[in-house]
Amino acid sequence: TKPTVEEILALYDDAKRRYDESGLYTQFDEDETFYELDFKEKLLLPTAFEAEGIVLPTARDLVDTCCDNTDIFNARVWVNKKGESKKSDEEANLLRKFGLGVLYRNCFEASISPIRVAAKHYWLHGLTIIKDVWDADRWLARPERKEDESDETYAERIDQWRAEHHDSIPIVIQGVNPRNIMLDPYYDGGMFVFETREELCFNVKQQFPDWGNPKSAKITDKVVHISFWTKDFRCDLYDREPVLKVAGGVAKHTYGFIPYVPIDTGLGNLSSTNDLKKRYVGILRYVKDVLVSESRDYSIGDIILKKQTWPWG
């Protein structure tokens, strides 16, 4: 059943309430605080020695070592064959090579490897989200034939077009920070997904000139972009106003699946109440007190060493 914008917004508010009450986002934020070594105030050193505190890079080492030991560069692709004939084998092998090519191109042409990003989210937050979408802007249209253009001239232009754009792949793979994602909290993430992020008002107006700017945001203000997906429908809202040029603002897509793949580490526990912060557990979640204690002990030792080891100097 095609949902309405009002139903989508009601579902969004309910899912956000559930996520806020679970404390999962708070845990994600704390995970990043420890990974960025931004917890010097937690050492609780005397005020006179606060500036001399040292935060050891153990948290980063733990996450990065786990990422380095995760094989993300030797992906394997399986393809179902359509039959038992030799032609079916050749078609399946060709499709398998295409899949490997898509993975390779996305990893090495992006400004940062999406698979590496996904591996880092996997160990840091206990959950990684891989997004696979079709980007029509990368699929360049074939040049149209001009009036009175000869076959030879048009064929030459087509050859030139193929030489310049034959390697355009419109399938985009992204590693989305799980802090920006709300999975279906009632059906194990399977029925719908929300992606939420802030975007510049100026950019939104450039991309969607008909957008009504319901909150009268200035061009330098941030606008909340809510993207809603089911396996059949999608809806994009900016400050809760739909922007897709379809009846009702909700479009039917032809993917046949939700283009977000959630993978969790299994370090958490599927509790009886489906507590999200217990379900998605990163490698730092239950060693944060140890990380603070380690940095505090090192800082105290370093301060004492500077003050007392060679007092005659």
pLDDT of residue 190: 82
Q: What is the DSSP string of 182-231?
A: EE-TTTTT-S-EEEEEEEEHHHHHHH-TT---TT---TTSEEEEEEEE-S
Which of these, 75, 113, 107, 81, lies nearest to 94 by C-alpha position? 81
Burial 8-22 (b: 16+ CB within 10 A, else e): bbebbeebeebbeeb
What is the distance between the alpha carbons of residues 210 and 236, in angstroms, rounded to a whole number?
14
Q: How far, CA to CA in Å, does 48 sit from each of 41, 53, 100?
A: 13, 10, 57
- The residues with which 176 forms a beta bridge, in sequence order, are 129
Listed in sequence order, the residues at least 6 apart from 283 whose beta carbon sits closer than 8 Å to its beta carbon are 62, 63, 66, 123, 124, 126, 265, 267
State the Cα angle at 118 between 123 and 186, rounded to 5°.
80
Q: Which pTM was predicted?
A: 0.85
- The residues with which 264 forms a beta bridge, in sequence order, are 127
pLDDT of residue 270: 86
* Amino acid, res. 304: I
**Residues 132 and 176 sit within 8 Å (Cβ to Cβ):** no
pLDDT of residue 202: 96
pLDDT tens by residue, the chain, 313 residues = 899 999 999 999 999 999 999 999 999 999 999 999 999 999 999 999 999 999 999 999 999 999 999 988 888 899 988 888 888 999 999 999 989 988 888 888 788 889 999 999 999 999 999 999 888 777 777 778 888 888 888 888 888 877 766 566 788 899 999 999 999 988 765 899 999 999 999 999 999 999 999 999 999 999 999 999 999 999 999 999 999 999 899 999 999 999 999 999 999 998 888 888 999 999 999 999 999 999 999 999 999 988 877 766 5
pLDDT of residue 38: 95
pLDDT of residue 312: 66
- The residue with tokens 């505190």 is 53
Listed in sequence order, the residues at least 6 apart from 286 whose beta carbon sits closer than 8 Å to its beta carbon are none
Element (H, E) at 252: strand 251-252
pLDDT of residue 72: 83
Element (H, E) at 239: none
pLDDT of residue 166: 58
Burial 296-307 (b: 16+ CB within 10 A, else e): bebbbeebeeee
